[in-house]
Copies of this chain bind each other. A is one copy, B any other.
Amino acid sequence: MSDVTGPGTPQEREGPLGSAPAAGGRGLTRALIEDVVAGADAEDVERVRALMRTLHPADAADLLELVGSDRRPVLIRAIRDGIDGETLIYLDSEVLEEVVDQLDPADVARAVAALDADDATALIDELDQAERREILDLLPAPERAAVEEGLAFVENSAGRLMQRDLVSIPVYWTVGHVIDYLREAQSLPDEFYEIFVVDPRHRPIGKIPLYRAMRSQRPVKVSEIMDRNVRAVDVGADREDVAFLFSQYDLLSAAVVDGSGRLVGMITVDDVVDVIQEEAEEDIMRLGGVIADDLHAAPWVTARRRSSWLFVNLITALVASAVIGFFDATIEQVVALAILMPIVASMGGNTGTQALTVTVRALAQRQVGPANVGRVVLKEVGVGALNGIGFAVLMGAIAGFWFQDPLLGIVMAAAIVINLVTAGLAGAAVPLVLHRVGVDPAIAASVFLTAITDVVGFFAFLGLGTWLLL
C-alpha cells in the first residue's frame, strides 16, 4: 500500500504520537474534520478535494464514515473522478454501499483494477449481487479473472485472504542470485517480508526472512540460511486458524498451498491483524446481542436486525414469566417473594455471564481441549458454589431483616446457592456443548444461559417459598 502523505501533511505537523493529546475522530485531527465539514456545508468541492488528497486512505475512509449520511454526498462528489481503491477497502460495508451507489460504476471498476488481487476480491465481495456483476464486467480481463478466482474460494478461507504475488526461489540458489533476481524481476509483489524456497514441484520447503538474506554474503547458499519450518496453510483453511497460527508463532507471512502441496499464494501479517480484530469484534458483538457492527447503518435497518435477538429474548422471558405465573397464589399471599425474586434471577444471570465470557474466549483462543475441559466446567461450578454461599449468607440476612421473616431469609439463601451453582455449570457447559455441535457459542450461548438462570432462579425461589412460607 502506498504512502500518499508527504512532509507537511496534517499527520506530520502533529509530531509524534503521544506528544499531543489525541484529536477527535480516529487518525484525523479535529481541525481537519471541521475544515472538511465546513467545505461540505458550503458545497465547496475544490476545497474538500484538496483536503481529502492530503489523507492516508485509511483516514480518508474514516472521514467518509464520520461525517454522516447528510454531508457524505458532497465528499463523494469531491473524490468521484479519481476515487482511490485503497480508500474503498477501508470503508465499513454500510458506508461502502452508499459510496458505491453514488459513484459511476466505471470509476469504481478503475479503482478496483488498481488494487492487489486480494484487496480487490475482498472489496468486490462486500458489494451486493447486482453491483458485483456490474463492476466485474467492467474490469479488464486479467483483473476480472483474478478476482473471480479469489471469489471461488470459500468465504473466510485462507484462499480469500491470500495474495497470489509472492517471491519464490529454487533451493540451489545463492544469496547473490536472490539479490540479482529481486533487483531485476518485474512482476514482484508491492510488499513482501519473506522469500519462499520451493522444490522442483513448487512445494514450499523453506523461507528466508529478508533481514537474514540482507545480512548474508553473496556466496552463501539459500539452503544454509532458510527456515525449514514453513508452517504452510491450506487454501481451504479457516481464517481464524490462520490468525491463530500468526499470533501463536509471531509470523510475518505464511505460504498458502493447494491440495497437492504446491505454493499458490501468501498471507501477510497486515491482513491477519484485520482478521484478529474482526474476529474479536464479532465475539464482542455477538455476546452483546448484536449480529454485526451496525454503527453506520440507518436506525430502521439496525432496529430490524437487532429485533431478531430481542424476539428470542422475549420468548425466554415469556417462559420465565410462565414459571412465575405457576406460583401466582403464593405471590398473592407473600408479596415479598415478588419483590425479591428479580435479585435471585439477576445474581444467577451475572454469575452465568461471567463463566460464559471466560469459556467463550477460552474456546476462541483454543485454551480448552480434551485435556482440560472437565477441569474448566468443574471450576466454574466451584466458583458458583463459593460465591453462591457467600451471597446466600449476605442476601439471606438482608431479606430476613427487610421483611422481618427469618424463614424468608432461608428461602432466599437456598435459592441463591441453587441458582449460582446452576449458573456456573450452565455458563461453562452451554458454550462448550454449542462449540461441540458446531454452533458459534458467542451468538447462541447467552440466550440459553439467561433462560436457564431465569427459570431455575424463579422456580427455586418461588418453589421453596411455596413449600416453606405458606
A387 CB, nearest partner CB in chain B, Å: 5
Separation of A398 and B214 alpha carbons in the complex (Å): 73
Copies assembled: 2
Flag if A179 contacts B214 (CB, 8 Å): yes
A116 CB, nearest partner CB in chain B, Å: 12
Flag if A25 contacts B371 (CB, 8 Å): yes
Contact code string A238-254 (vs B, CB < 8 Å = 1, else 0): 10011011111110100
In-complex Cβ contact of A193 among B210, B285, B289, B331 (8 A): B210
Within 8 A of B (CB), among A3-23: 3, 5-7, 9, 11-12, 15-19, 22-23
* Chain B CB within 8 A of A158 CB: yes
A329 CB, nearest partner CB in chain B, Å: 8
* Residues of B close to A88: CB separation below 8 A: none
* Residues of B close to A299: CB separation below 8 A: 379, 382-383, 386
A9 CB, nearest partner CB in chain B, Å: 7
* Residues of B close to A257: CB separation below 8 A: 16
* Residues of B close to A306: CB separation below 8 A: 351, 354, 383, 387
A-B pairs with beta carbons under 8 Å apart, 30 shown: A6-B229, A7-B228, A11-B231, A16-B257, A17-B237, A19-B259, A24-B369, A26-B244, A26-B366, A28-B369, A30-B370, A58-B248, A58-B250, A66-B369, A67-B372, A68-B372, A179-B214, A188-B215, A192-B211, A213-B214, A252-B269, A287-B288, A287-B357, A288-B353, A293-B358, A303-B387, A317-B346, A332-B332, A335-B338, A342-B454
Flag if B345 contacts A215 (CB, 8 Å): no
* Chain B CB within 8 A of A118 CB: no
* Residues of B close to A223: CB separation below 8 A: none
Given that A27-B249, A261-B16, A309-B354 are known contacts, is A37 also in contact with B371, CB under 8 Å in the complex? yes
In the complex, what residue of chain B is closest to A36 when comparing beta carbons?
B371
* Chain B CB within 8 A of A140 CB: no
Flag if A350 contacts B12 (CB, 8 Å): no
* Chain B CB within 8 A of A83 CB: no
Q: Which of A99-107, A142-150, A320-328 contacts B (4 or more CB under 8 A)?
A: A320-328
* Chain B CB within 8 A of A59 CB: yes
Given that A310-B350, A338-B324 are known contacts, is A247 also in contact with B277, CB under 8 Å in the complex? yes
* Chain B CB within 8 A of A307 CB: yes
Within 8 A of B (CB), among A65-109: 65-68
Flag if B210 contacts A248 (CB, 8 Å): no
In the complex, what residue of chain B is closest to A332 when comparing beta carbons?
B335
Given that A17-B237, A306-B387 are known contacts, is A295 also in contact with B371, CB under 8 Å in the complex? no
Separation of A357 and B313 alpha carbons in the complex (Å): 17
Flag if A65 contacts B17 (CB, 8 Å): no
Flag if A66 contacts B372 (CB, 8 Å): yes
Flag if B366 contacts A289 (CB, 8 Å): no
Given that A229-B11, A287-B288, A318-B343 are known contacts, is A26 also in contact with B248, CB under 8 Å in the complex? yes
Separation of A142 and B195 alpha carbons in the complex (Å): 35
Flag if A358 contacts B213 (CB, 8 Å): no
Given that A26-B248, A193-B211, A299-B379 are known contacts, is A351 also in contact with B216, CB under 8 Å in the complex? no
* Chain B CB within 8 A of A294 CB: yes
A57 CB, nearest partner CB in chain B, Å: 9
Separation of A344 and B228 alpha carbons in the complex (Å): 61
Contact code string A37-48 (vs B, CB < 8 Å = 1, else 0): 100000000000
Flag if B339 contacts A18 (CB, 8 Å): no
Q: Which of A120-128, A129-137, A389-397 contacts B (4 or more CB under 8 A)?
A: A389-397
Separation of A231 and B394 alpha carbons in the complex (Å): 54
Given that A288-B354, A317-B342 are known contacts, is A227 also in contact with B369, CB under 8 Å in the complex? no
* Residues of B close to A383: CB separation below 8 A: 299, 302-303, 306
In-complex Cβ contact of A18 among B19, B158, B179, B216 (8 A): B158
* Residues of B close to A391: CB separation below 8 A: 307, 310-311, 314
